């Protein structure tokens, strides 16, 4: 009897089985635009990461090195991207600024990820009154005006980069929590979750082994799209003078300073703005590509 059933069952192809992630990577690879985004972001990150090395050996200037006698000069052979009114080399400032902007983007996103996923997963998984209370809290926090919140923090704690982290992270996790909660609730409805319950698995196991792995796709996408949001937020704060303080720079600070003198010394605005825009676009392309690649129901052929 068993042999009859074995013969009847359809033969399985013996190709290498592709896991979900391998499949997704394959799809991403084929998407030229998102690949471009990935490469650009990788390249920029690398360059900014190596800023100290590059500044010392190749560029020759540091970000705080002033040259008051020189003043602002347009791009030339010595200062590749020109200098600002204090004679500081723009390229060096751009690279160091990039470090801060990107690091801020990544870290704040990571913080919001950890808090948001935990919060949203609990709310979505437990449901009921707990969910209601948790989400109302999120709603209330959403209503707080962000700028005033940051100003208050500055008043109490003074200005520092850590403060920036806290402020931005405190805002971003709200959206992440909402998204994660929605995803968890959607996954909870699926039959394989009911099957896991029927098997008698512990709730914790269901959460970690069944729900969260299925969550990773959307989370990765939203995290990738959160980074540019955070960078923009930082730029906004810096524009208001609430962000990164001198002598450090970030792209936001550079843009602010460049905007102030853009009629006389346009290069001080052009290059930082271009760098910012390029990074934001690239991250967005990457995020879009990831969303397409990770969407299980996506391609129909």
Partner 1 sequence: MTAPEPSSQPFLRVENLKTHFHVLGGFLFQHRVGTVRAVDGVSFELRQGEILGLVGESGCGKSTLGRTILQLIRPTEGVVVLNGRNLTRMHGRNLREARADFQMIFQDPYASLNPRMTVFDALAEALQAHRKVPASELPARVGDLLQKVGLPPRAQGKYPHEFSGGQRQRLAIARALAVEPKLIIADEPVSALDVSIQAQIINLLARISREMRLTLIFISHDLSVVNYISDRIAVMYLGKIVEIGPARRIFERPLHPYAKALISAIPIPDPAREARRERVVPPGDPPSPLNPPSGCPFHPRCAYAQDRCARELPVLEPFMDSRHLASCLRTKEINSD
Partner 2 sequence: MPLLTVNNLRVSFHTRAGVVRAVEDVSFELARGETLGIVGESGSGKSVTCYSIMGLLPQPPARVEAGQAVFDGIDLLALSHKELNEYRGLRISMIFQDPMTSLNPYLRIGQQLIEPLLIHKKMDRAAARRRAVEMLADVGITDPEHRLRMYPHEFSGGMRQRVMIAMALITRPDLLIADEPTTALDVTVQAQILELMKKMRQELGMAILLISHDLGVVSGLCDRVMVMYAGRVMESAKTPELFYETRHPYTRALQKSIPALQVKGQELYTIAGAPPDLLHPLAGCPFAPRCGYVVDYCTREETTPAEVTPGHRSSCLRVQKEKLSL
| Residues near 55 by beta carbon (within 8 Å), at least 6 away in sequence | 61, 62, 63, 92, 95, 96
18 vs 39, beta carbon nearer partner 1 = 18
Instruction: Name the token pair of 52.
Output: 């100290």
Shortest gap between Cβ of 17 and partner 1 (angstroms)?
4
Q: Is 7 in the site for partner 2 (CB under 8 A)?
A: yes
Q: How far apart are CA 244 and CA 247, in angstroms?
A: 9
* Residue 140 interacts with which of partner 2, partner 1, none, CB < 5 to 8 Å by class: none
* Residue 200 interacts with which of partner 1, partner 2, none, CB < 5 to 8 Å by class: partner 1
Q: Is 6 in the site for partner 2 (CB under 8 A)?
A: no
| Category of 88 on φ-ψ map: left (φ > 0), alpha (ψ -120 to 50) or beta | beta
Shortest gap between Cβ of 10 and partner 2 (angstroms)?
4
**CB atoms inside a 10 Å sphere around CB 202:** 10
Q: Which residues bind partner 1 (CB under 8 A)?
A: 1-2, 5-6, 8-10, 12-14, 17-20, 190-192, 194-202, 209-210, 213-214, 296
Query: Per CB under 8 A, which region of 3-11, 92-100, 194-202, 288-296 contacts partner 2?
Result: 3-11
**CB distance 296 to 123 below 8 Å:** no
Name the residue with tokens 């996954």: 187
* Sign of the torsion formed by the C-alpha atoms of 150, 177, 103 and 84: negative
**CB distance 230 to 219 below 8 Å:** no
Shortest gap between Cβ of 7 and partner 2 (angstroms)?
7
13 vs 148, beta carbon nearer partner 1 = 13
Binder among 3, 6, 8, 129 for partner 2 (CB under 8 A): 8
Q: Is 15 in the site for partner 2 (CB under 8 A)?
A: no
* Residue 199 interacts with which of partner 2, partner 1, none, CB < 5 to 8 Å by class: partner 1
**CB distance 253 to 243 below 8 Å:** yes
* Residue 301 interacts with which of partner 1, partner 2, none, CB < 5 to 8 Å by class: partner 2
* Residue 191 interacts with which of partner 2, partner 1, none, CB < 5 to 8 Å by class: partner 1
| H helical segments located in the chain | 2-8, 20-30, 32-49, 51-54, 90-126, 128-143, 146-157, 161-188, 191-199, 203-205, 212-239, 251-260, 267-294
Binder among 10, 46, 69, 162 for partner 2 (CB under 8 A): 10
| Category of 71 on φ-ψ map: left (φ > 0), alpha (ψ -120 to 50) or beta | left
Between CA 100 and CA 99, with CA 250 as vertex, the angle to 5 degrees is 25
Shortest gap between Cβ of 202 and partner 1 (angstroms)?
7
* Residue 26 interacts with which of partner 1, partner 2, none, CB < 5 to 8 Å by class: none
* Residue 263 interacts with which of partner 1, partner 2, none, CB < 5 to 8 Å by class: none
Q: How far apart are CA 222 and CA 135, in angstroms?
A: 19
187 vs 255, beta carbon nearer partner 1 = 187
Shortest gap between Cβ of 30 and partner 1 (angstroms)?
19
* Residue 142 interacts with which of partner 2, partner 1, none, CB < 5 to 8 Å by class: none
Residues found near partner 2 in the complex (CB under 8 A): 7-8, 10-11, 301
């Amino acid at each position: 009897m068993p042999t009859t059933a074995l013969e009847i069952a359809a033969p399985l192809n013996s190709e290498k089985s592709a896991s979900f992630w391998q499949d997704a990577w394959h799809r991403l690879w084929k998407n030229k635009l998102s690949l471009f985004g990935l490469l650009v972001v990788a390249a920029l990150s690398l360059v900014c990461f190596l800023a100290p090395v590059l500044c010392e050996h190749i560029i020759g200037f540091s970000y705080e090195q002033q040259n008051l006698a020189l003043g602002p000069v347009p791009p030339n052979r010595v200062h590749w991207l020109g200098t600002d009114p204090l004679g500081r080399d723009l390229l060096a400032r751009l690279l160091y600024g990039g470090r801060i902007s990107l690091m801020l983007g990544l870290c704040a996103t990571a913080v919001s990820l950890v808090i948001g996923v935990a919060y949203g997963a609990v709310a979505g998984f437990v449901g009921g009154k707990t969910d209601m209370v948790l989400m109302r809290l999120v709603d209330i926090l959403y209503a707080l005006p962000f700028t005033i919140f940051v100003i208050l923090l500055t008043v109490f704690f003074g200005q520092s980069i850590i403060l920036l982290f806290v402020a931005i992270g405190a805002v971003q996790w709200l959206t992440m929590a909402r998204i994660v909660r929605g995803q968890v609730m959607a996954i909870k409805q699926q039959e394989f979750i009911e099957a896991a319950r029927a098997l008698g698995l512990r709730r914790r196991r269901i959460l970690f082994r069944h729900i969260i792995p299925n969550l990773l796709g959307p989370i990765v996408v939203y995290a990738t799209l959160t980074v540019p949001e955070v960078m923009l937020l930082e730029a906004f704060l810096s524009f208001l003078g609430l962000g990164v303080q001198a002598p450090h720079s970030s792209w936001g600070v550079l843009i602010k300073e460049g905007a102030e003198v853009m009629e006389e010394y346009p290069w001080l605005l052009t290059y930082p703005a271009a760098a910012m825009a390029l990074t934001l676009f690239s991250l967005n392309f990457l995020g879009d590509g990831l969303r397409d690649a990770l969407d299980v129901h996506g391609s129909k052929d």
